[in-house]
Copies of this chain bind each other. A is one copy, B any other.
Amino acid sequence: MMRKKKISIKDIAKEVGVSIALVSYVLNGLEKEKRVSQEIVQKIHAAAKELNYQPNQIARSLRRGATNTIGLIVADISNPFFGQLARVIEDEAAKYNYTVIFGSSDESCSKSASLIEALLNRQVDGFIISPSENCVDQISNLVSKDFPVVLVDRYFPELEVNYVALDNFQATYSAVNMLIAKGYKKIKLIAYKSSLIHMKERVRGYVEAMQKAGLQKELSIKEIRYSQISSDMGKTIDVIVEDNASEALVFATNALTLSGLYALKRNNVEVPGKLAVVGFDGHEAFDFFQPPLTYIKQPLEEMGKESVKILIEQIQGSKKIAHITLKPNVVMRTSCR
Contacts and interface: CB of A to CB of B under 8 A. Distances in A.
B102 A147 contact: no
Count identical subunits in the complex.
Answer: 2
Contacts of A58: 58, 61-62, 67, 122-123
A1 interface: yes
A90 B61 contact: no
Interface stretch (A14-22, A79-87, A131-139, A210-218): A79-87
A121 B55 contact: yes
Interface in A53-106: 54-59, 61-62, 67, 69, 76-80, 83-84, 86-87, 90-91, 99-104
Q: Which of A79, A84, A87, A258 has the most CB of B within 10 A?
A: A87
A287 interface: yes
Interface string A31-67: 0000000000000000000000011111101100001
Contacts of A69: 101, 122
A99 B123 contact: no
A210 B303 CA distance: 49
Contacts of A1: 146, 317
Nearest to A103: B90
Nearest to A89: B77
B101 A100 contact: yes
A265 interface: yes
A174 interface: no
Interface stretch (A112-120, A179-187, A193-201, A326-334): A112-120
A117 B54 contact: yes
Interface string A269-310: 000000000000001110111100000000000000000000
B80 A78 contact: yes
A38 B255 CA distance: 52
A62 to B, nearest CB: 5
Given A54-B121, A58-B61, A101-B101, A78 B86 contact: yes
Nearest to A300: B78
A77 B80 contact: no
A57 B123 contact: yes
Contacts of A104: 87, 90-91
Contact of A77 (B83, B146, B289): B83
A320 interface: no
A244 B80 CA distance: 35
Given A54-B121, A284-B284, A78 B84 contact: yes
A2 B56 contact: no
Contacts of A262: 287
Contacts of A56: 62, 121, 123
A87 B102 CA distance: 10
28 contacts: A1-B317, A3-B147, A4-B145, A4-B146, A54-B120, A54-B121, A57-B123, A58-B58, A58-B62, A58-B67, A58-B122, A59-B62, A78-B84, A78-B87, A83-B83, A87-B104, A90-B104, A91-B104, A99-B101, A99-B103, A99-B118, A99-B119, A102-B102, A283-B284, A283-B285, A284-B285, A285-B285, A288-B290
